[in-house]
């Protein structure tokens, strides 16, 4: 199952936030899949999610900026679909889609960590934020592709179980 990944950058959003936030796991339910499956879709399900990134300028020290970030992870039901004949029935497919959502959470957390430890300068801070995002996004896309390939889109039960254990372990790391 493929994943849609969106990125929105809010410039100087004023909100108090901690140095690093906690991004919670989101439970995938049948209600997520609201979109109609496109006729050209190659897979029985598609889980879409978004990262919204809000930025707050905390301090300017010479040319260095202290920025706080709020990474918001959301499932997007308007773009997520599942075969109508499997919706509400195929628990294995629902669990596979949960894996995609969990991979999204893992990489949202990674994005938050990478942004929190980066040093930003007045010149080029937007480019650096974009670069960090693109690096994490590329890793996440590869993880999702490997997950689908190795589990055969959830049909290989042994590999699906192996990936479930890997994902659960990674979700425990903060």
Q: How many domains does the chain have?
A: 1
Enumerate the β-bridge partners of residue 136: none
Mean pLDDT, range 8-13, rounded to an integer: 30
Q: What pLDDT is recorded for position 7?
A: 37
Percentage of residues in the chain having pLDDT higher than 70:
87
Task: Calculate the average pLDDT of the chain.
Answer: 88
Enumerate the β-bridge partners of residue 54: 10, 70
Taken in order 76, 98, 140, 47, the sign of the CA dihedral is negative
Token pair in block for residue 66: 């202290």
Q: Are strands 120-121 and 45-61 parallel, antiparallel or unpaired?
A: unpaired
Higher pLDDT, residue 93 or 3: 93
| Backbone φ, ψ for residue 169 (5° rounding) | -65, -45
Q: Residue 72 sits in which domain range?
A: 3-172
Tens digit of each residue's pLDDT (9 = 90 or more) over 65-98:
999 999 999 999 999 999 989 988 999 999 999 9
Contact 49, 5 (CB under 8 A): yes
Tens digit of each residue's pLDDT (9 = 90 or more) over 104-127:
999 999 999 999 999 999 999 999
Contact 51, 108 (CB under 8 A): yes
HEC sequence for the chain: CCEEEEEEEECCCCCCCCCCCCCCCCCCCHHHCCCCCCCCCCCCEEEEEEEEEEEEEEEEECCEEEEEEEEEEEECCCCCEECCCCCCCCHHHHHHHHHHHHHHHHHHHHHHHHHHHCCEECCCHHHHHHHHHHHHHHHHHHHHHHHHHHHCCCCCHHHHHHHHHHHHHHHHCC
Contact 160, 166 (CB under 8 A): no
Q: With 80 as the cut, is the pLDDT of residue 20 above it?
A: no
């Amino acid at each position: 199952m493929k994943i849609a990944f969106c990125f929105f950058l809010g410039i100087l959003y004023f909100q108090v936030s901690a140095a690093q936030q906690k991004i919670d796991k989101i439970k995938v339910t049948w209600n997520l899949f609201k979109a109609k499956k496109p006729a050209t879709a190659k897979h029985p399900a598609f889980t879409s999610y978004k990262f919204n990134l809000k930025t707050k300028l905390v301090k300017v020290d010479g040319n260095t900026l202290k920025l706080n970030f709020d990474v918001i992870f959301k499932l997007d039901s308007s773009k997520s679909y599942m075969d109508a004949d499997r919706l509400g029935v195929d628990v294995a497919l629902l669990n596979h889609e949960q894996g995609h959502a969990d991979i999204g959470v893992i990489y949202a957390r990674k994005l938050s960590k990478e942004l929190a430890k980066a040093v930003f300068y007045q010149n080029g801070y937007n480019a650096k934020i974009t670069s960090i995002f693109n690096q994490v996004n590329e890793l996440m896309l590869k993880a999702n592709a490997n997950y689908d390939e190795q589990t055969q889109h959830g049909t290989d039960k042994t590999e699906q179980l192996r990936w479930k254990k890997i994902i659960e372990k990674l979700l425990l790391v903060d």
